[in-house]
Amino acid sequence: MRDNFHDRIRLPSLREKVTSAAAAAHWVRDGMTVGMSGFTRAGDAKVVPLALAERARHEQLKITLMTGASLGNDIDKTLTEAGVLARRIPFQADPALRSAINRGEVMFVDQHLSETVELLRTRQMAPIDVAIIEAIAITETGAIVPTTSVGNSASFAILADKVIVEINLTQSPELEGLHDIFIPKRRPQREPIPIMSVRDRVGTTAIEIPPEKIVAIVITEKADSSSNILPPDAETAQIAGHLVDFFKNEVKQGRLTESLLPLQAGIGTIANAVLAGFIDSPFEHLTMYSEVLQDSTFDLFDAGKLDFASGSSITLSPQKSRDVFANIGRYKDRLVLRPQEVSNHPEVIRRLGIIALNTALEADIYGNVNSTHVLGTHMMNGIGGSGDFARNAYMAIFATKSLAKGGDISSIVPMVSHVDHNEHDVDILVTEVGLADLRGLAPRERARAIIGNCVAEPYREMLRDYVERASRRGGQTPHLLEEAFSWHVRYRDTSSMLLPLEEARLRA
Amino acid sequence: MRDNFHDRIRLPSLREKVTSAAAAAHWVRDGMTVGMSGFTRAGDAKVVPLALAERARHEQLKITLMTGASLGNDIDKTLTEAGVLARRIPFQADPALRSAINRGEVMFVDQHLSETVELLRTRQMAPIDVAIIEAIAITETGAIVPTTSVGNSASFAILADKVIVEINLTQSPELEGLHDIFIPKRRPQREPIPIMSVRDRVGTTAIEIPPEKIVAIVITEKADSSSNILPPDAETAQIAGHLVDFFKNEVKQGRLTESLLPLQAGIGTIANAVLAGFIDSPFEHLTMYSEVLQDSTFDLFDAGKLDFASGSSITLSPQKSRDVFANIGRYKDRLVLRPQEVSNHPEVIRRLGIIALNTALEADIYGNVNSTHVLGTHMMNGIGGSGDFARNAYMAIFATKSLAKGGDISSIVPMVSHVDHNEHDVDILVTEVGLADLRGLAPRERARAIIGNCVAEPYREMLRDYVERASRRGGQTPHLLEEAFSWHVRYRDTSSMLLPLEEARLRA
């Protein structure tokens, strides 16, 4: 253990700060705002949060918890069940927390992931009192070397009064050097972010703060949670196939080269599977400028398809995790992890010309997308970075399977019950049925393309009927307001979006 | 006339291109895509478009018309009535065209104003065949000096095969030097836009193209149309008052200095009136980084409140127009006109930290905003630049009067019938009733702030009742899907959003 301290806490004066999780947790008091590391289950602070939950059994302890994005290790669940969370910002993906949010017990502020630290920096949200950051090491100057994610850790540590560091001995020391910490200057001194290629390194490899802000260091040996995505299936393979065909044609038309443009892929099964589909494609020398790097990133590296990947975290399945982190040296010169403010920055996304691929919970006939709210009211996870990317991308693609719940739900509906991405930001919609290229189309044309290409029967015919009747009343975006949500209401009341007649016909 | 030619067409070889509008119009053929100058009724091509309408009386002539934004001089009306418009991109504000769009006769592609030329440059939309650009002059090298707007003119001229120039003798030659033409490089060579202050000039004062692309020059003497905004009234003064109080407090809290941050104000009566309200404020050394510069910009200059204004066009009332353009030298060193791609660029907006002020057609209890669609279906004007600004701004403010049609419409509804800006992009909502500061709030908290601060009775009570009943069903964003649009349907059917009982009570 002493050796680890020397390697892992290289500024001698900080070694006396090593303490227990319980003792470290006492820096957090009731009513505080706490900023924790953690982005897509990677690099989260793992033991001090649980010590907070433990404390809450004996005393009143309610906090505002800000993170990069979702946490692993049941941290959100444990904190929720202990009643510690008053507010949660800017993303989550935990079933227990989700339920508490939807009961109105935890106030969840669902934010574009690039914006949280801007709001903190300008004090448009309450300031961070304590930051709790997982690290590989603390350097000779007291700088914090993050682990498998950067997320908002750098700005949290810089902006907090006090910083608690969790040194995680299970995280490979070889990750050091992977990170590129760049913090934009305060306005009006702010300058351009000098990233002109996904490869560009523009910052430092560790988070530089005054070492005296580090009030406690806890040594941990808990691993990151693995990703919980599902493997590719027949439908995700079809979605990938439609996209590969689409991009082949873009190359043929001379709009893209065979290295395309830097790819972003949202978290989750569908985006991961679609990206994996590029292994069997004619594209070469691909690059990524994304948030989370999932299994598919490393599959593409191994297939010789991907030249470089920039992200804010690495989140892998158990098998892939063992392969990658045991051999991280093999990938290290082709990887960079950045603060989510930079990985998701509108400036860089627009400059590089990102091809953004994100998942829709549901989409409508005009190409508006709901990424977050079940039946318009109940939160799933949050908008995440999809809005940072879709608004500013070269091309915004949204993918979904056309059906859910064995066909009782059509993912394409007359009107989405919640809008996260409006038609202006949705260029391509793709399902296993097919792909709708919506670029340069007016809403009535978008409806024809989406219904014709992306929807399976009998919903296709039901949507044609809807749009035809709506169009008789005119408008740029024809709708029947009385019926716009009738599919959602029918699903809620009958467990199926199908009309009774259609359902009978289908089941016959 | 010969003298004018020498001043106005300084490259001698181009003088032989001077011709009539009718002759110039013959470069446009059926099925072509035409890019015209014109942004918010300023700097539009004025005579060749009308010659196209004239031609359509005798022959089949349908085009895709792209502009900067809205046109004056009844050009959209005349082209619509002549049946010339097959497609219209990316904005319009003409009643006759609007009707044709809503009848489904003209396909209107409503785009974020910064994006149109990106889509053209990457050939994601059909290319421009002919550009028609109003100019003060053509320089010694054949470069085109725009008039009262830049809009998309530079990229249209650069990307088109053929360029027609309308030299407008009524536009002040003193406008020359006002423009700053900067065109981002193609990816992957693209570099940062080097604007670090609203004052920065980063381009050329004229649009540089190979002179041989100029196929025709037409001399015109038609003036720009004046703006058609209404003067400030009691309610817009109240809205301005709420915002001035809000900003006073931001300064007091140390979040802003008394020069605030660069202001953007959308086109129209409310934004103009609100900005004019800053004349009687304690703020000093204000700056603007906006699209259209309206009367209020020059009122603020004259009041000594405004130091510099960057825009893409100047659109003024008749009186103000006479004052400003007769004395443009007085303002010239405090003004710059940029391409709308630059005035609205996400990179620059985020870097400078714009305070964005735009108008809502309606907003809902959670702070989603409809900027475009009446009753969810019928287009008014288009989203314009509001999405470029609101997503990337330091702070996005939306303003509306709380009531319309003498109280029969509440501008705050349970759910907006069309979403242009979702809750993630709406920081402040303000009506004449008051201001809701939504920063850092979860949806249930947003609803309380909006209903409590922005809504007049009896709608306030009706909304409280809605949200209370909806909340019983739970959710991050409680709604009753069956009732969400009931106010809109009631207005459509009874000409009032009021419940019969409320209406009776109100009229009693």
What pLDDT digit, counting tens, does each position of B207-227 carry? 999 999 999 999 999 999 999
Element containing residue A395 per DSSP (H, E) = strand A395-399
pLDDT band at B508 (very low <50, low <70, confident <90, very high): low
pLDDT, one tens digit per residue, over B54-63 is: 999 999 999 9
**Contact yes or no for A122 and B376 at CB 8 A:** no
Q: Is B387's pLDDT higher than 70?
A: yes
Altogether, the residues listed in chain A come to a count of 508
Please answer whether residues A162 and A27 qualify as being in contact, where contact means their C-beta atoms are separated by less than 8 angstroms: yes
**Closest chain B residue by Cα to residue A467:** B377
Q: Does A376 touch chain B (CB under 8 A)?
A: yes
Closest by alpha carbon to A443, among A423, A460, A463? A423
pLDDT, one tens digit per residue, over A198-222 is: 999 999 999 999 999 999 999 999 9
**Contact yes or no for A476 and B378 at CB 8 A:** yes
Q: Is B137's pLDDT higher than 70?
A: yes
Question: A422 a known binding residue?
Answer: no
Q: Give the closest of A192, A394, A474 to B351, CB-based.
A: A192
Of the residues A473, A476, A491, the best mutation for testing chain B's interface (the one with the most B CB atoms within 10 Å of its CB) is: A476
Q: Give the closest of B378, B441, B476 to A474, CB-based.
A: B378
Q: Give the closest of B126, B350, B492 to A440, CB-based.
A: B126
How far away is chain B from the Cα of A166, in angstroms, using its nearest Cα? 28
Element containing residue B137 per DSSP (H, E) = strand B137-138
d(CA B352, CA A178): 30
Q: What is the mean pLDDT of chain B?
A: 96
Tokens coding B116:
């149109």
**Contact yes or no for A481 and B194 at CB 8 A:** no
Q: Give the closest of A104, A192, A474 to B192, CB-based.
A: A192
Residue B229 confidence (pLDDT): 85
Closest by alpha carbon to B384, among B405, B356, B403? B356
Q: Does B469 touch chain A (CB under 8 A)?
A: no
State the catalytic residue, choosing from B176, B208, B291, B423. B291
d(CA B221, CA A100): 67
- B330 Cβ neighbours under 8 A, 6+ residues apart: none
Closest by alpha carbon to B427, among B495, B340, B363? B363
**Contact yes or no for A442 and B353 at CB 8 A:** no
Q: Does B380 touch chain A (CB under 8 A)?
A: no
Q: Is B3's pLDDT higher than 70?
A: no
Please answer whether residues B194 and A194 qualify as being in contact, where contact means their C-beta atoms are separated by less than 8 angstroms: no
Task: Walk along chain A (508 residues) and give the pLDDT tens digit of each residue.
Answer: 445 578 999 999 999 999 999 999 999 999 999 999 999 999 999 999 999 999 999 999 999 999 999 999 999 999 999 999 999 999 999 999 999 999 999 999 999 999 999 999 999 999 999 999 999 999 999 999 999 999 999 999 999 999 999 999 999 999 999 999 999 999 999 999 999 999 999 999 999 999 999 999 999 999 999 998 888 899 999 999 999 999 999 999 999 999 999 999 999 889 999 999 999 999 999 999 999 999 999 999 999 999 999 999 999 999 999 999 999 999 999 999 999 999 999 999 999 999 999 999 999 999 999 999 999 999 999 999 999 999 999 999 999 999 999 999 999 999 999 999 999 999 999 999 999 999 999 999 999 999 999 999 999 999 999 999 999 999 999 999 999 999 999 999 999 999 887 766 766 6
Radius of gyration of chain B (CA): 23
Of the residues A64, A368, A377, the best mutation for testing chain B's interface (the one with the most B CB atoms within 10 Å of its CB) is: A377
How far away is chain A from the Cα of B457, in angstroms, using its nearest Cα? 25
d(CA A502, CA B16): 70
- DSSP labels, B445-486: HHHHHHHHHH--TTHHHHHHHHHHHHHTT--SS---TTTTTH
Instruction: Give A-chain residues touching B350 at CB under 8 angstroms.
Output: 345-347
d(CA A376, CA B360): 22
How far away is chain A from the Cα of B98, in angstroms, using its nearest Cα? 9
Of the residues A120, A246, A481, the best mutation for testing chain B's interface (the one with the most B CB atoms within 10 Å of its CB) is: A481
**Contact yes or no for B477 and A418 at CB 8 A:** yes
Instruction: Give A-chain residues touching B471 at CB under 8 angstroms.
Output: 104
CA end-to-end distance (rounded Å), chain A = 69
**CA atoms A72, A75, A80, A85: torsion sign:** negative
**Contact yes or no for A379 and B475 at CB 8 A:** yes
**C-beta neighbour count of B5 within 10 angstroms:** 16
User: Selecting from 3.30.980.10, 3.40.1080.10, 3.40.309.10, 3.40.50.300, what CATH number does the domain A234-455 have?
Assistant: 3.40.1080.10
Residues of chain A with CATH 3.40.1080.10: 6-220, 234-455
Q: Give the closest of B192, B255, B391 to A391, CB-based.
A: B391
**Contact yes or no for B346 and A351 at CB 8 A:** no
Q: Which amino acid is at B308?
A: F
In chain A, pLDDT over 70 holds for what percent of residues?
A: 98
- Please list, residue by residue across A367-377, b when 16 or more beta carbons sit within 10 angstroms of its beta carbon and e when fewer do: bbbbbbbbbbb
Residue A286 confidence (pLDDT): 98
State the catalytic residue, choosing from A176, A291, A341, A423. A291
Of the residues B481, B489, B491, B497, the best mutation for testing chain A's interface (the one with the most A CB atoms within 10 Å of its CB) is: B481
**C-beta neighbour count of A26 within 10 angstroms:** 15
Residue B423 confidence (pLDDT): 97
Q: Give the closest of B422, B439, B492 to A420, CB-based.
A: B422
- A502 Cβ neighbours under 8 A, 6+ residues apart: A458, A462
Told to judge if B482 belongs to the known catalytic residues of this protein, a careful annotator would answer: no
**Closest chain A residue by Cα to residue B193:** A192
Q: Assign residue A341 a region: left if phi > 0, alpha if psi is -120 to 50, beta otherwise? A: alpha
User: What residues form DSSP beta bridges with A64?
Assistant: A33, A87
Q: Is B96's pLDDT higher than 60?
A: yes
**Cβ within 8 Å of B, A 29-68:** none
Residue A1 confidence (pLDDT): 46
CA A314 to chain centre: 11
Question: A381 a known binding residue?
Answer: yes
pLDDT, one tens digit per residue, over A257-311 is: 999 999 999 998 899 999 999 999 999 999 999 999 999 999 999 999 999 999 9
| For residues B25-29, average pLDDT | 98
Closest by alpha carbon to B212, among B453, B16, B488? B16
d(CA A473, CA B364): 24
The side-by-side arrangement of strands in the sheet containing B263-265 is B335-337, B306-311, B286-289, B263-265, B355-359, B395-399, B428-430, B435-437
**C-beta neighbour count of B129 within 10 angstroms:** 19
Residue B474 confidence (pLDDT): 97
How far away is chain A from the Cα of B11, in angstroms, using its nearest Cα? 35
In degrees, to the nearest 5, what angle opens at C-alpha A241 toward C-alphas A240 and A242? 90
Report helix, strand and coil shares of chain B as percent, to nearest 5: 35, 20, 45
CA distances from B387 to B238, B264, B383, B494 (A): 25, 12, 7, 33
**C-beta neighbour count of A225 within 10 angstroms:** 20
CA A481 to chain centre: 33
**Contact yes or no for B192 and A119 at CB 8 A:** no
Closest by alpha carbon to A124, among B438, B258, B404? B438
Instruction: Give A-chain residues touching B101 at CB under 8 angstroms.
Output: 476
Q: Give the closest of B124, B190, B422 to A439, CB-based.
A: B124
- A7 Cβ neighbours under 8 A, 6+ residues apart: A137, A173
pLDDT, one tens digit per residue, over B476-490 is: 999 999 999 999 999
Q: Which position has the higher pLDDT, B506 or A419?
A: A419
- B366 Cβ neighbours under 8 A, 6+ residues apart: B423, B443, B446, B447, B450, B477
Which residue in this structure is represented by tokens 């470089």?
A308
How far away is chain A from the Cα of B230, in angstroms, using its nearest Cα? 26
Tokens coding B336:
């710059």
Residue B281 confidence (pLDDT): 95
How far away is chain B from the Cα of A99, in angstroms, using its nearest Cα? 9
**Cβ within 8 Å of A, B 386-425:** 387, 391-392, 394-395, 417-420, 422, 424
Which residue in this structure is represented by tokens 């997503």?
B391
d(CA A360, CA B392): 22
Closest by alpha carbon to B357, among B250, B272, B415, B480? B272
d(CA A506, CA A504): 5
pLDDT band at B506 (very low <50, low <70, confident <90, very high): low
| For residues B345-364, average pLDDT | 98
**Contact yes or no for A489 and B478 at CB 8 A:** no
Closest by alpha carbon to A428, among A278, A274, A233? A274
Burial of B12 (0-12, 13-18, 19+ CB in 10 A): exposed
**Closest chain B residue by Cα to residue A417:** B481
Q: Is B435's pLDDT higher than 90?
A: yes
**Contact yes or no for B481 and A417 at CB 8 A:** yes
Radius of gyration of chain A (CA): 23
CA distances from A283 to A277, A286, A307, B123 (A): 11, 7, 11, 20
Q: Does B186 touch chain A (CB under 8 A)?
A: no
Q: Does A484 touch chain B (CB under 8 A)?
A: yes
| For residues B451-457, average pLDDT | 97
Residue B1 confidence (pLDDT): 46
**Contact yes or no for A489 and B479 at CB 8 A:** no
**Closest chain A residue by Cα to residue B196:** A191
**Contact yes or no for A111 and B439 at CB 8 A:** no
**Cβ within 8 Å of A, B 83-122:** 87, 89, 101-104, 107-112, 118-119, 122
Topology given in CATH for the domain delimited by A6-220 = Glutaconate Coenzyme A-transferase (3.40.1080)
**Closest chain B residue by Cα to residue A260:** B188
Question: B381 a known binding residue?
Answer: yes
- Please list, residue by residue across A67-85, b when 16 or more beta carbons sit within 10 angstroms of its beta carbon and e when fewer do: bbbbbbbbbbbbbbebbbb
**Contact yes or no for A109 and B197 at CB 8 A:** no
